[in-house]
């Protein structure tokens, strides 16, 4: 009938149109300018052709769609900047408002076209794509477990600007709607139906028919909110019910975001204002907020790091181009302890064969039992079947015999953190493996170059550093020893890709990247404590700065004793000057005198009662010889200290050549240790502030708190030249 590039459009004998979204040359549908144009033509065709009764929109791919092309948004932001420079702020703002409103107007046109539209959704349907479904008058989801709907825009510093805030807030209780919009979670089919987000759930091959039947049976072309007498699910904003909702909503917003996320604040505003207006005006208000948020530095930073850079890294930005793709079928894991057992699980979970080795069969079996437990938990939650567990366990061979490693493509050792033990294990592994097998270590502190010396071929030796808990943490640090070769790097990257984690590649150095920054954060917390600052304020400052937990709490998680162990090792290797005496004193007292090791023995900076929540240990006060009264505490400065110290450490890793690409420091810092995501990561924090301002801030802190805040030469140079980390990297790539 009509020619479309991105849709197949056909009308059946009943006069019901089916628009199958299926973009050529792409594995996933995405909203682009061309898709919007074609969708607009489809809507007009359906609206004007009397023979067409209504239209079902579905996808020809394995998934419905992931939403809008974020690079398209980035482009309109760039155009805004250009216009602002050339024609002034007002012209630029008008442009951005009109531009970002197009999708919302298109969906509204669909909703008010006079013909019923239905969305038949299988697979993921997120962001702008789910907003399309929300604008349809009827939504049916496939009952397949991988089907997910949601509005995850907040995760990249944006919010749903295609009508999502308004439609969701009219479909469910305001409190629930705000929770959903704030969190941006992906929602499973039955949950979505229970929440009132969709009308129906059906087997995959029946969704289109279900949608057609709905139209055939006279489904209404008028959205509930356009019908006469429509009542908001939580009543009017200015009502007794509204009084119960809005004051706490404000408080929840503060608690969840510490006011660090303008996009989430904008959701609150858009819903609050929008619910007091008719739909068309409400959508206009949403668009105003959207255009404003699109210009925020938080959105720019988060889109760059958490979307673009992350995708680049996942797709192998750092992979040596001339090494052909490596076939990895079987992976050996030696050391079936805390880390090894989890590495075996995530590997088997990706469909790979695993040989899990420990000193004896009992230890190896114990490591394998971890996978049994994790899979059983999944079964309990209804996310896996017994057959999945059996299949996964069948892929793991527990063994105490190194010969079983014979046909592995990659072996990862995770034995005790002891160079002698590791050296011995490396030799045993190498006596068993094929000559082309790559050998990796999961060490967190031992230099890879040193370990590689025990290996017969240092070019086939590499670090693959997982973070705990391995099942949850998405980051993997790949560490290059001095002689690590390209094939080893390619193998490590191909493996990380198979297990669906995000890799960063760093050069060998003490603490690699992530742990260096983490230790700086914890150290700052310890020093604040030694200065006499109240522990609750230190913890609060960490959270207000945007960290997932305060520094003392984090220290409890990794182990107070581990902190002391690292400190002692540093002192032994690098001398007295390399450590901070106040920290040594505090940790020695906690560990050696008070027996407080952290969460592991339920006693650290916090007490961890069997029942109930953790709370700061009341005895902490007795460890402080000085005390700063709360009213004299400058919270802003505490927040700055906690972020600046980590950013400085990240800058030093660049100066030392440990980090060679700013994308890796940024992605690594957010995925690895939760560095305040709204900043875009440790280096983006500096870039968005500007090196000059950052250096000034460092100088101020240095004068007051000592030389650990001294800016390195690299930052001084950047401050003088006006360069950014990303600008330098781009120049290097271009050269």
Residues lying near ligand NAD in the complex (CB under 6 A): 334-340, 357-359, 363, 414-417, 421, 425, 442-444, 465-466, 468
Structure tokens at 114: 């006079």
Owner of token pair 């360069």: 723
CA separation, residue 271 to residues 50, 265, 317 (Å): 37, 10, 40
Return the number of the residue (33 or 469) whose C-beta is nearest ligand NAD: 469
Q: Cβ of residue 501: shortest distance to ligand NAD, in angstroms?
A: 13
Three-state DSSP at 141 gives: strand
State the minimum distance, in angstroms, from the CB of residue 445 to ligand NAD.
Answer: 6
Shortest distance in whole angstroms from residue 485 CB to ligand NAD: 22
Cβ contact 421:445 at 8 Å: no
Residue 245 token pair: 């909702």
Cα separation of 399 and 392, whole Å?
A: 16
Q: Between residues 221 and 414, which has the closer beta carbon with respect to ligand NAD?
A: 414
CA atoms of 131 and 150, how far apart (whole Å): 9
Who contacts 20 (Cβ-Cβ below 8 Å, separation ≥6)? 7, 8, 9, 58, 59, 60
Nearer to ligand NAD, 334 or 523 (CB): 334
Q: Which is nearer to ligand NAD, 358 or 687 (CB)?
A: 358
Residue 21 vs 467, nearer CB to ligand NAD: 467
* 209 sits in which H/E element: helix 207-216
For ligand NAD, the closer of residues 335 and 525 by Cβ is 335
Say how many residues make up the chain.
Answer: 735
- Beta carbon of residue 369, minimum distance to ligand NAD (angstroms, whole number): 12
Q: How far apart are CA 276 and CA 523, in angstroms?
A: 49
Contact between 163 and 136 under an 8 Å Cβ cutoff? The reply is: no
Q: Give me the least distance between CB of 554 and ligand NAD, in Å please.
A: 13
Closest CB to ligand NAD among residues 557, 584: 557
CB of 735 to ligand NAD, least distance (A): 36
Question: Could you tell me the smallest distance in angstroms from the CB atom of residue 464 to ligand NAD?
Answer: 10
Q: How far apart are CA 585 and CA 597, in angstroms?
A: 15
Indicate the residue among 337 and 536 with the shorter CB distance to ligand NAD: 337
Q: How far apart are CA 160 and CA 151, in angstroms?
A: 6
Query: Residue 313 Cβ, how far from ligand NAD at the closest point, in Å?
Result: 20
Nearest to 111 by CA among 170, 33, 188, 32: 170
> Which of 442, 502 has the CB closer to ligand NAD?
442
> Residue 475 pairs with which residues in a beta bridge?
502
Give 29's DSSP letter. -
DSSP label of 340: H
Residue placing its CB nearer to ligand NAD in the complex, 337 or 690:
337
> Closer to ligand NAD at the Cβ: 326 or 411?
411
Considering the complex, state which of residue 357 and residue 587 has its C-beta at the smaller distance from ligand NAD.
357
25: left (phi over 0), alpha (psi -120 to 50) or beta: left
Residue placing its CB nearer to ligand NAD in the complex, 267 or 357: 357
- Write out the two tokens for 475: 């980051």
CA distances from 377 to 183, 370, 384, 393, 467 (A): 24, 11, 9, 14, 21
C-alpha closest to that of 174 among 249, 255, 234, 225: 234
d(CA 714, CA 695): 11
φ/ψ of 439, rounded to 5, equals -115, 130
Q: Which is nearer to ligand NAD, 464 or 647 (CB)?
A: 464
Smallest gap from residue 497 Cβ to ligand NAD (A):
20
Helix (H), strand (E) counts: the chain: 30, 18
User: CB of residue 341 vs ligand NAD: minimum separation in angstroms?
Assistant: 8
**β-pair partners for 200:** 140
Closest CB to ligand NAD: residue number: 337
Smallest gap from residue 489 Cβ to ligand NAD (A): 19
Closer CB to ligand NAD, residue 189 or residue 335?
335
β-strand pairing of 16-21 with 7-11: antiparallel
Tokens 């594995």 belong to residue: 27
CB of 510 to ligand NAD, least distance (A): 13
The answer to whether the beta carbons of residues 5 and 24 sit under 8 Å apart is yes
Query: Rounded CA gap, 284 and 365, in Å?
Result: 61
Cβ of 516: how many Cβ atoms within 10 Å? 19
Whole-number minimum distance, CB 672 to ligand NAD, in Å? 11
Taking the chain, what is the end-to-end CA distance rounded to the nearest angstrom?
Answer: 51
**CA of 121: how far to CAs of 38, 118, 205, 249, in Å?**
19, 10, 11, 32
Which token pair is 64? 């419905």
**Residue number, 415 or 654, with CB nearest to ligand NAD:** 415
- Peptide bond preceding 406: is omega within 30 degrees of 0, i.e. cis? no
- Alpha-carbon distances, residue 50 vs 7, 44, 214, 268, 712 (angstroms): 21, 11, 18, 41, 71
The helix or strand, by DSSP H or E, that contains position 82, with its residue range, turns out to be helix 70-87
In terms of DSSP bridges, do strands 148-150 and 124-126 run parallel, antiparallel, or are they unpaired? parallel
Q: Residue 430 CB, nearest distance to ligand NAD (Å)?
A: 13
Which lies closer to ligand NAD via its Cβ, residue 310 or residue 464? 464
List the one residue out of 218, 116, 217, 226 whose CA is nearest residue 170.
226
> Whole-number minimum distance, CB 334 to ligand NAD, in Å?
6
Return the number of the residue (41 or 428) whose C-beta is nearest ligand NAD.
428
Q: How far is the CB of 336 from ligand NAD (least distance, A)?
A: 5
At its nearest, how many Å lie between ligand NAD and the CB of residue 397?
A: 15
Cα 402 → chain centroid? 37
Whole-number minimum distance, CB 83 to ligand NAD, in Å?
49
């Amino acid at each position: 009938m009509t020619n479309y590039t991105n849709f197949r459009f056909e009308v059946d004998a009943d006069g019901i149109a089916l628009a199958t979204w299926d973009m050529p040359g792409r594995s996933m549908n995405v909203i682009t300018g061309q898709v919007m144009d074609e969708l607009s033509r489809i809507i007009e065709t359906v609206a004007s052709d009397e023979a067409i009764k209504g239209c079902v929109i579905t996808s020809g791919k394995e998934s419905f769609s992931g939403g809008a092309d974020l690079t398209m948004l980035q482009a309109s932001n760039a155009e805004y900047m250009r216009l602002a420079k050339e024609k002034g702020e007002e012209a630029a703002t008008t442009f951005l408002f009109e531009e970002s409103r197009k999708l919302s107007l298109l969906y509204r046109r669909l909703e008010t076209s006079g013909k019923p539209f239905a969305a038949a959704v299988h697979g993921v349907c997120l962001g702008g794509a789910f907003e399309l479904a929300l604008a349809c008058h009827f939504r049916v989801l496939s009952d397949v477990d991988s089907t997910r709907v949601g509005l995850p825009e907040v995760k990249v510093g944006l919010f749903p600007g295609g009508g999502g805030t308004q439609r969701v807030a009219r479909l469910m209780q305001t409190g629930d709607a705000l929770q959903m919009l704030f969190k941006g979670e992906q929602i499973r089919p039955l949950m979505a139906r229970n929440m009132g987000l969709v009308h129906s759930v059906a087997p995959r091959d029946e969704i289109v028919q279900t949608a057609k039947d709905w139209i055939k049976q006279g489904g209404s072309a008028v959205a509930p909110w356009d019908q006469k007498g429509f009542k908001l699910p939580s009543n009017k904003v200015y009502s007794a019910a509204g009084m119960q909702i809005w004051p706490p909503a404000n408080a929840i917003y503060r608690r969840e975001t510490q006011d660090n996320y303008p996009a989430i604040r904008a959701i609150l505003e858009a819903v609050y204002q929008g619910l007091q207006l008719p739909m068309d005006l409400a959508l206009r208000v949403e668009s105003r907020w959207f255009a404003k948020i699109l210009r925020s530095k938080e959105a720019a930073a988060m889109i760059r790091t958490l979307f673009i850079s992350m995708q680049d890294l996942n797709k192998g930005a750092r992979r040596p181009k001339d090494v052909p793709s490596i076939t990895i079928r079987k992976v050996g894991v030696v050391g079936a302890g805390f880390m090894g057992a989890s590495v075996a699980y995530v590997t088997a979970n990706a469909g790979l064969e695993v040989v899990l080795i420990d000193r004896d069969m009992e230890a190896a079996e114990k490591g394998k039992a971890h996978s049994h437990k994790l899979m059983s938990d999944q079964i309990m939650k209804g996310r896996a079947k017994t057959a999945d567990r059996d299949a996964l366990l069948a892929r793991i061979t527990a063994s105490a015999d190194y010969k079983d490693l014979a046909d592995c493509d990659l072996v990862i050792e995770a034995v005790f953190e002891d160079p002698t033990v590791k050296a011995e294990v490396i030799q045993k592994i190498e006596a068993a493996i094929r000559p082309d097998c790559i050998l990796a270590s999961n060490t967190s502190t031992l230099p890879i170059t040193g370990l590689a010396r025990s290996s017969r071929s240092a070019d086939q030796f590499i670090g693959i550093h997982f973070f705990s808990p391995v099942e949850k943490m998405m980051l993997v640090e790949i560490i290059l020893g001095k002689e690590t070769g390209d094939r080893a790097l390619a193998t490590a990257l191909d493996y990380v890709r198979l297990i669906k984690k995000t890799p960063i590649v760093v050069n060998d150095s003490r603490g690699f990247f992530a742990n260096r920054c983490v230790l700086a954060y914890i150290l700052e917390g310890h020093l604040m404590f030694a200065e006499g600052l109240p522990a609750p304020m230190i913890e609060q400052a960490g959270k207000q700065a945007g960290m997932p937990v305060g520094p003392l709490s984090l220290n409890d998680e990794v182990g107070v004793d581990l902190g002391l162990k690292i400190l002692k090792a540093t002192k032994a290797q690098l001398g007295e000057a390399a450590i901070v005496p106040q920290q040594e004193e505090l940790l020695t007292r906690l560990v050696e005198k008070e027996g407080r090791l952290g969460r592991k023995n339920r006693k650290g900076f916090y007490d961890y009662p069997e029942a109930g929540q953790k709370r700061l240990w009341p005895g902490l006060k007795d460890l402080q010889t000085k005390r700063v009264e709360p009213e004299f505490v400058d919270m802003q400065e505490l927040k700055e200290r906690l972020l600046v110290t980590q950013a400085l450490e990240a800058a030093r890793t660049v100066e030392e050549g440990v980090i060679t690409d700013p994308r890796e420091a940024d992605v690594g810092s957010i995925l690895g240790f939760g560095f305040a995501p709204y900043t875009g990561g440790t280096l983006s924090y500096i870039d968005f502030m500007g090196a000059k301002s950052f250096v000034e801030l460092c100088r101020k802190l240095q004068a007051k708190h000592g030389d650990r805040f001294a800016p390195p030469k690299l930052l001084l140079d950047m401050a003088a030249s006006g360069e950014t980390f990303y600008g330098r990297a781009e120049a290097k790539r271009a050269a």
